[in-house]
Amino acid sequence: MERVVNKSSFCAALKGSRILESEEIPGGAGGEFEREPVPEKARKGSSAFWGMYAGEHTAGTEFMIGPLFVAWGASAFDMILGLLLGNLLAVLTWRFLTAEIATARRLTLYYQLEKICGRNLVVLYNLFNGILFCFLAGAMVTVSATAVGVPFGESVKMPTFDQTWPTGFVWCLLCVAIGAAMTFVAVRGYGFVARVGHLAAPWMLLVFVACGVVMLAKLDSTNLFELIDPPEGAPRRIGFWGIVFFAWFCNAAVHLGMSDLSILRFARKPSYGWASAAGMFLGHYVAWICAALLLVYWVRQFGVDPQKGAMPGPMVFDAVGVTGLLCVAVAGWTTANPTIYRAGLAFQGMFPKMTRTTATIIAGAVCTVAGVFPAVAMKLLDFVGLYGTILAPVGAVIVVDHFLARRLGLATDYAERQGIRFNVAVLLAWAIPVAIGLAIYRTQDINSFMLPLPCWLACGALYILFSKLMNRGAGSGLSSDPSCP
């Protein structure tokens, strides 16, 4: 669920995602074409993208999301069919928005935003992104700790879904040790982290499937509609459309927010956007349902309160033994390490004189402190919705600039054309719907993942309005970029 929005981290993610892992191509800075379109000779075939998406979306978060659906009272119909529809909508967004713009412009998100918004506004964007990265990585520290803590028995008190504070001194020490180890690896660089994730991804998917098969055997049924349905009278915090919107927008910052421009700009054709289906239907469908079955079994066999839940480590250990513990620990590890690295690069982008090592250590420290508190992991459904609500709307500005600017008489690449470092029209268009969305979330009984789409649409509409009112002196919307429609 996390990707890159900082200039330096773009190239790191490309290497880490095996798009540029094994060859150096002259061009740009170090061959990553950070400030120029990707040339024909550097573009990649479809297999690179199918493998990347399958690996990126089978991660530590999946162990939390499936059981949280059960805790929120999702019905079998809502989960099985809602996830199908929501993941399909996510794939269509990648294919017909993100991939279309990526293969037309072939620029990183960072550089494309800089051309429209100005350098200073992109720095502000990186601040929010870096902080959110730290909290996401912190959630994965928590997930890994639930596996590493199992061998310590009763000395480590596992948190439950309703706990937000540390459960004890030993838990704190465990999280600090895991966070420090993850930070150390992130400091070494993204290449090593990516290789570990690349090797672990196929094995982790098999462990998810094994957990699901074992749970079906222990529950003595293959009828998912009967197994997953909550008991009568159980509170329901999420329904069919809630699951649809969650599956669609848990990666809102990546597809609607255009973070994946940095990856898909290397695709030979926009049709490679269909590769996102590998991640959505393996990681965000199969893995989520298999993880949900873990909690279903514990509720029925051990009488666990579904509202309080059980942690991934003990549940997976009960299902598939030590292999399961390793999978939970590695899944959290492979999610947190690149996230810490990217958060450090986002902070470094704000303070260019700061070394990458220092920035990564700062990010790791914030992540570790966040991991000690189980709040983010236990409220992961809410967190990813807020993540998309804050960051995805900026992608609407790029969509307007690419598809609509010329037709509406707006200047494309406004900041670059005017030589400014801060486009106020973009700031207002971004800040107003996000502020309203966050206020609604705080005061109304609405799930956060219902907010990215209206905020995204409002941002696009406001950008058009404010550009008409404030940027009249820019002249025609014609652009020197021949790729603009």
Contact 289, 212 (CB under 8 A): yes
Q: Which of 374, 369, 373 is nearest to 311 (CA)?
A: 374
Helix (H) or strand (E) holding 244: helix 240-249
Contact 398, 101 (CB under 8 A): yes
pLDDT at 114 over 90: no
Contact 70, 161 (CB under 8 A): no
Report pLDDT digits (tens) over 413-436: 888 898 888 999 999 999 999 999
pLDDT bin (cut points 50, 70, 90) of residue 375 is: confident
For residue 3, what are its two tokens?
């990707």
What is the rounded CA–CA span in Å between residue 167 and residue 145?
A: 12
Q: Give the residue extent of every domain in the chain.
A: 7-392
pLDDT bin (cut points 50, 70, 90) of residue 270 is: very high
Q: Percentage of residues in the chain with pLDDT exceeding 90?
A: 36
248-254: average pLDDT = 91
Whole-number average pLDDT of the chain: 83
Lowest mean pLDDT among 191-205, 226-240, 291-305, 316-330: 191-205
Beta bridge pairs of residue 267: 44
Beta bridge pairs of residue 44: 267
Phi, then psi, of 374 in degrees rounded to 5:
-70, 0
What is the rounded CA–CA span in Å between residue 247 and residue 279?
A: 12
Q: Which pLDDT score is estimated for 25? A: 35
Q: Three-state DSSP class for 386?
A: helix
What is the rounded CA–CA span in Å between residue 53 and residue 84?
A: 17
pLDDT at 342 over 80: no
Contact 380, 309 (CB under 8 A): no
What is the rounded CA–CA span in Å between residue 227 and residue 66?
A: 14
Max Cα–Cα distance, the chain, nearest Å = 70
Q: What pTM value is reported for the model? A: 0.84
Task: Output DSSP code: residue 325.
Answer: H
What is the CATH code of the structural domain delimited by 7-392? Answer: 1.10.4160.10
What is the rounded CA–CA span in Å between residue 212 and residue 354?
A: 46
Write the CA distances from 441 to 133, 383, 445, 463, integer angstroms: 21, 12, 7, 23
How is the chain split among helix, strand and coil, in percent rounded to 5? 70, 0, 30
Q: Which pLDDT score is estimated for 44? A: 83
For residue 82, what are its two tokens?
């809602």
What is the rounded CA–CA span in Å between residue 453 and residue 249?
A: 8
Contacts of 442 (CB under 8 A, 6+ apart): none
Q: Which pLDDT score is estimated for 38? A: 81
